[in-house]
Structure 1
Amino acid sequence: MEWSQPEIKGDLVTSRAGHAGVTIDENWYIVGGGDNKSGATETLMLNMSKLALSVLTSIKGRDPLASEGLSVCSALVESENILVAFGGYNGKYNNEVFVMRPKPRDSAQPKIFQSPAAAAAAASVTAAYALTKSEKLDFTHLEDSNPKLVQVNSFQRDLSAEINAIREEKKVLESSLAEVKSENSDLMAKIDETKNTYAELSKELQSVQGQLVAERSRCAKLEAQISELQKTLESMPSIEQEVQLLRRQKSALERDMERAAPVQRQSSGGVWRWIGG
């Protein structure tokens, strides 16, 4: 079993929620409701055999019947069906009781079906709605009783073809959905693999960061040594000047010693001669 959406004929009504409904025979009466901004002022009746929606009556916007969450029921009083409504909320909570006597409507000539052709169209809509639920309708006896309903069979065949096409499309969509699910499963597996790879790379990155910290410390020590060497190199010119000065002093001393050597030899010879003589 599945839901279907039949074509509804009749009055155009406002959207609503929080309404109440009750059925009497083949009619469904809908009272109240709203859209969180204002209450629905129309009391509706849906003829379920003809799928015809009509407005029975309208009330003022602030009327207690234009409320959300009210309750409604039907009762048989003196062989007459009546509607009884109670409560609801439309900015304030209500405790009034309201009664309405639904007037019998001309079911053969309702407001939206005023010609035999329109009646035949209504029968077609009803048949289509029943077909979506059972798909086993037989309109042979209707054809025999009313020639105007011959078009129903054609409509039924077209609708059956559309239903079959929709079923085939549904199968294709289900197949596509299965493929998408399979692709999603593969993507999830790849995502998990990527996460594992990311975790391993994160560990390697932490290890490399530790090595980088050690290398930075080593570089800092090397920079300190280089700074000391640069200071030593900066003092080299003064050292060279001192060395040159020492060399000049040494050269001068050597020259003085060479000059003093003959004098010492002469002085030594005279002494020995004096001693020998």
Structure 2
Amino acid sequence: MGTEEIKKDMDVSEWFSQLTYDQWIAVPASGARPSARYKHAAAVADEKLYISGGSRNGRYLSDVQVFDFRSSAWSSLKLKSELKADKAEDNSQEVLPATSDHSMVKWGNKLLLVGGHSKKSSDSMTVRFIDLETHLCGVIETSGNAPVARGGHSATLIGSRLIIFGGENSSRRLLNDLYALDLEKMTWDVLETTQTPPAPRFDHTATLHAGRYLLIFGGCSHSIFFNDLHVLDLQTMEWSQPEIQGHLVAPRAGHAGIAIDENWYIVGGGDNKNGCPETLVLNMSKLAWSALTSVKGRDPLASEGLSVCSTLIDGEKHLVAFGGYNGKYNNEVFVMRLKPRDMLRPKIFQSPAAAAAAASVTAAYALAKSEKLDFSNMNFNSRGVESSPSEQDLTIEIDAIKEDKKVLELSLAEVRAENSRLREKIDEVNSTHSELSKELHSVQGQLVAERSRCFKLEAQIAELQKMLESLQSIENEVQILRRQKSAIEREIELNASAQRQGSGGVWRWLAG
């Protein structure tokens, strides 16, 4: 169940009514397509998809592009500066700085652009706005304890508060702090929490469940990709990491998520080597993962840095994905028509006989999951099914079960491949561990020898210190002897001088 393109001869005014449930469709579009990109921001307002900024080939983008679901047409939004509102139009590059890895949420008649990386550095997080009626754009003045500037964070709208978690600052420092922006007062607050928070990360996803629980999924550090789920109780402000059931989820970052009712849809992402091909669904009440669809490894939806939004078209809910990078930058619009909850297991049987047939289908469905039965050779035409409509419904149900079986087999193959890769990594780690253990023993032996040598040197140093102390006393005695010698020499010289003087006087007396 990968991605497909809508036929060109389809009436664009009715294309949404012809979509297959739970399948991604690449929508043909008129107008100039926006530049392919990733790490942009996206939001839906008034049946239009708004795309802002992003990155391509290391260059930040500043444009705002609009996709109209009704006309299936792209257009570029010309922004006007708040400071130059008297001008009819302005160059959007002069109004909106080129930004990547930022967030965008709809608040009233405005789109709010929060944070992100740009060449114009800022110490604290910047909040900009785009007025959807006047197309004015500017910076919103905020107060309070604003978070440090960052990108790759998550921004979750909870009532009139915008909750910011994690991200990466301009110095590439990873964050796991939590802030709240009151959108009515435009004031920032630090949120203090208890228990163990998620590890610092960026390019994760977040959502709100039951108006009380903030969920954080995936993301990465500079070396590790995560597949963990963390829950913050917004009443007690306690973090927890619940046990999750169901589908095995691969670590990923750069994915996109959107919550609809009890389900959290996760699209794309990757680990810088491989894109994640499946569209995941987390039932937030049961805390169970399932895989809704799977695409090919190089499909545009198996990308990092894509966006996903939800929109209501003719009363039906749709997912909308755009952009991303998986070795190639993408600029296509993909739409998935979500199957209503009451159609996930349609109750098409009314009579007791038909209920018995439904029970047989349910049993076959369970056997198919456990034993991988081939439904093509099974006969579901029981005696209790009295009319052809029930047989047709059974055929539809069997086809759905076959599709589920294919998805499960694909998931099983992926799990087996992942297990094989993990076994190879374990063998490599064990081999490395063995070599490191040998090297550690060698180093420990060297340390023992060096420690013995150090003990000997310390003993020699102690002896030398004693010798130095004795040398000091000898030096003092030598100084005393030198002084005594000097005194004796002076005394001898004085005596000799006196004798010479005495001898001279006697000879002068005899001569006189």
Q: TM class by shorter-chain length?
A: 0.3 to 0.5
Larger helix proportion, structure 1 or 2? 1
Q: Which TM-score applies when normalising by structure 1?
A: 0.46
Q: Which TM-score applies when normalising by structure 2?
A: 0.27
Larger strand proportion, structure 1 or 2? 2
Task: Pick the structure with greater CA Rg.
Answer: 1
